[in-house]
Amino acid sequence: MRLKKLEREQVRMKYGGRCTYCGIELGGRWHADHLEPVTRELIPKQNANGTWRLDAGKPLRPENDHIGNMMPACAPCNISKGSQSLEVWRTWIARHVNSLNLYHPIYRLAKAYGLVVETAAPVVFYFETVTL
Ligand SMILES: [Zn+2]
């Protein structure tokens, strides 16, 4: 659903103008994320140069497309979450450290020099730490 200006401001202020998930203060560019994803169908379309892309089509779970399910999110959180449920996304984020250790030599080097310290902290979203 396309939010009207006042509705969008209501969503932005759900957590005091902060991202629901990481808690960063939202700037002028933020996303209204669906907490429970609407998951859009993907439609293959051919570009003019012959390559293909997937365009977002109709929502597969339109019942989740309402203002009560919309959360203010910074672009990195919204893009990272995509159409994952909150718990799937939480697990996915928790595995980032493993991926960094496996595939990122600069990360391993920074860790070796004590610049990065792994804490094994659980992934806790900002909205889980605040009471309204
Ligand atoms: Zn965020």
**Are the beta carbons of 26 and 72 closer than 8 angstroms?**
yes
Q: Residue 40's CB: how many other CB atoms inside 10 A?
A: 16
Cα 54 to ligand 1 centre (Å): 25
Q: Return per-residue pLDDT of the chain as tens, 132 residues.
A: 889 999 999 999 999 999 999 999 999 999 999 999 988 888 999 999 999 999 988 888 999 999 999 999 999 999 999 989 999 999 999 999 999 999 999 999 999 999 999 999 999 999 999 987
Rounded to an integer, what distance in angstroms lies between the CA atom of residue 1 and that of residue 7? 11
Residue pair 37/85 in contact (Cβ under 8 Å)? The answer is yes
Q: How many angstroms is it from 52 CA to the middle of ligand 1? A: 31
Task: Measure 4 CA to ligand 1 centroid, in angstroms.
Answer: 22
Centroid of ligand 1 to alpha carbon of 50 (angstroms)? 36
Distance 86 CA to ligand 1 centre (A): 13
Which pLDDT score is estimated for 111? 96
Counting Cα atoms < 13 Å in the Cβ hemisphere of 69 gives 14
What residues does the ion ligand 1 have nearby, CB within 5 Å? 19, 21-22, 74, 77
Distance of CA 69 to the CA centre of its chain: 14
CA of 24 to the centre of ligand 1 (A): 6
CA of 56 to the centre of ligand 1 (A): 23
Token pair listed for 35: 């907490």
Beta-bridged to residue 40, according to DSSP, are 59
